[in-house]
């Protein structure tokens, strides 16, 4: 198989890539940081590199995190269809915007944007799952039919990103108890959970019901 088909997807200098690949154990590093003014307030955006999944995860940072004993935090998994195209099949885009708006009105907080499309199955497979849902399956059944677990997301890198930002005690903005469990398993203190309630629409009501009934989301 050609080497370009097996290499990790990050576009890095050869020396940086070699250092990541040669690391003994997990390596997560800040790669770049810049100001990011948005319609919801001023943030800083921080890009990270890692040697676990070799994906470019980022953090949106609001204010002085070190000044907060408990940092409001959203762990948001990438959803191109919802976050970019405004899909009504899910609540992802609305959740991201709500969290960003909430933190934009707060003195400090962080959103980790994790490149874990489709609960870890990737964009192309998520569209396959969408097709199965069009034929009558629910979101869990579609993932299982494709040979994946209901949720393949991992929070190892997310926890290390938080530590690199100086955060180890958070108020987690989520409806998904698995996120809290995953972060706690990786050494992050989740002191409280903030619900993130999005009103259903005719296109995502069944999807939200499935998340509640089969995936344990607190909706």
Q: Which is catalytic among the residues 149, 151, 168, 193? A: 151
90 belongs to an annotated ligand binding site: yes
Q: Are 73 and 109 in contact (CB under 8 A)?
A: yes
Burial class (CB in 10 A: 0-12, 13-18, 19+), 106: middle
CB-based burial, 9-21: b 16+ in 10 Å, e otherwise: ebebeeeebeebe
Q: Which is catalytic among the residues 149, 153, 163, 193? A: 153
The dihedral through the CA atoms of 173, 176, 177, 183 has a sign that is: negative
179 belongs to an annotated ligand binding site: yes
40 belongs to an annotated ligand binding site: no
75 belongs to an annotated ligand binding site: yes
119 belongs to an annotated ligand binding site: yes
Identify whether 151 is a catalytic site residue.
yes
210 belongs to an annotated ligand binding site: no
Q: Are 49 and 59 in contact (CB under 8 A)?
A: no
118 belongs to an annotated ligand binding site: yes
Residues annotated within the binding site for GTP are 74-78, 95, 117-119, 139, 174, 179
Binding-site entries for Zn(2+): 79, 90, 92
Residues annotated in a binding site: 74-79, 90, 92, 95, 117-119, 139, 174, 179
Enzyme catalytic residues: 151, 153
């Amino acid at each position: 198989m050609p080497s370009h088909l097996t290499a990790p997807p990050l576009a890095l200098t050869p020396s940086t890539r070699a250092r990541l690949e040669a690391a003994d154990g997990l390596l997560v590093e800040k790669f770049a940081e810049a100001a990011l003014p948005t319609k919801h307030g001023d943030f800083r955006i921080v890009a990270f590199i890692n040697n676990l999944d070799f994906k470019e995860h980022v953090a949106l940072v609001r204010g002085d995190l070190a000044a907060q004993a408990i940092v409001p935090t959203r762990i948001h998994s990438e959803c191109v269809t919802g976050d970019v195209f405004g899909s009504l099949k899910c609540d992802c885009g609305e959740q991201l915007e709500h969290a960003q708006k909430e933190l934009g009105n707060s003195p400090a907080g962080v959103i980790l944007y994790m490149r874990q499309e489709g609960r870890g199955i990737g964009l192309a497979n998520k569209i396959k799952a969408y097709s199965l849902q069009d034929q009558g399956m629910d979101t869990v059944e579609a993932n299982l039919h494709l040979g994946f677990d209901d949720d393949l997301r991992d929070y190892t890198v997310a926890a290390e990103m938080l530590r690199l930002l100086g955060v180890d005690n958070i108020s987690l903005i989520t409806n998904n108890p698995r996120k809290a469990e995953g972060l706690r398993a990786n050494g992050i203190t989740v002191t409280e959970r903030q619900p993130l309630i999005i009103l259903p629409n005719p296109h995502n009501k069944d999807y939200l019901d499935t998340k509640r009934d089969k995936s344990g989301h607190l909706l």
